[in-house]
A = this chain, B = another copy of it.
Amino acid sequence: MAFLRYAMFLCLVSMVFCQENMDVEFDLLPRPLIIEYPETRFKNMTEELLMQCTSWRVAVESNNLGPWITIPTECADYVEEYMSGRAYDFDLQTVSKEARVYAKSLELGDDGMDAWVFDVDETLLSNLPYYSDHGFGLEVFDCAQFDRWVVEGVAPVIKPSLKLYEEVSSLGFKIMLLTGRSEDKRNATATNLINAGIDEWDKLILRSESDQGKSAVAFKSEKRKEITDEGYRIIGNYGDQWSDLVGTSVASRSFKLSNPMYHIP
């Protein structure tokens, strides 16, 4: 029975696909039939769930959500497929391209005080190898485990961000790396960045002892203020969290990279 059905199926497939030029009016279903089946993304999700999780992701990206601890359970497969498939990379490229167009459109001052701020995690370096072992944001963040990953210093570079970094460096922007990582990760972070191709910067700012306990918005706003107090103009800011970008002493223009895995307030 199974063989018969298999044979009939193959027969049908060959007829459907091989006889496009015959005298056929066989449009019971929209054509082409199987070619449009979304094979690469979200293949096991209902339309309803796909819509729901996309809506949640857009709400994350447009800063509409309050603090959240983990991704919605029902969106676990969605986030995994988004991060592992081409869509995440596509989104990163879209933002990188826009930021490069912006950077190139500007006329820099002669004083060398035009600065571009970059966040590190999920901005220049990808922790996807770590998060793929931890449910892509479905597990509650474990600081100790994540720290062990950070000190390994093997996070791969995010290529569209590397491209922007190279562009703004060559244009003459001062590079300010501003990360929520703590000061004791300086060596691991610097080594990781250099190995990943981010090999020069003007400042690498991490959380010192006195910054512990501050929100990311407060910490990063303070550090941006210190940068501008030194006379720099923050022309661009590039980060995956809204807390990298908002607050005070904000950049002339900020770019939000996609990250549906975690939220830092």
A residues with CB within 8 A of B:
1-2, 5-6, 8-9, 11-12, 15-16, 22-26, 28-30, 34, 36-41, 43-44, 46-47, 51-52, 54-59, 61-66, 86-87, 90-91, 94-95, 98, 101-102, 254-256, 258
Contact = CB atoms under 8 A, between A and B. Distances in A.
- Tell me how many chains of this kind the complex includes: 2
Nearest to A85: B51
29 contacts: A2-B24, A2-B26, A5-B12, A5-B15, A5-B26, A6-B26, A6-B28, A8-B15, A9-B26, A36-B37, A40-B47, A51-B87, A54-B54, A55-B90, A55-B94, A57-B58, A58-B61, A58-B94, A59-B98, A61-B61, A62-B62, A62-B63, A62-B258, A64-B94, A64-B95, A64-B98, A64-B256, A66-B98, A66-B102
A68 to B, nearest CB: 11
A61 B40 CA distance: 25
Given A38-B47, A98-B64, A55 B91 contact: yes
A216 to B, nearest CB: 17
Contacts of A8: 8, 11-12, 15
Contacts of A65: 98
A254 B47 CA distance: 29
B52 A90 contact: yes
A9 B23 contact: no
Contacts of A57: 58
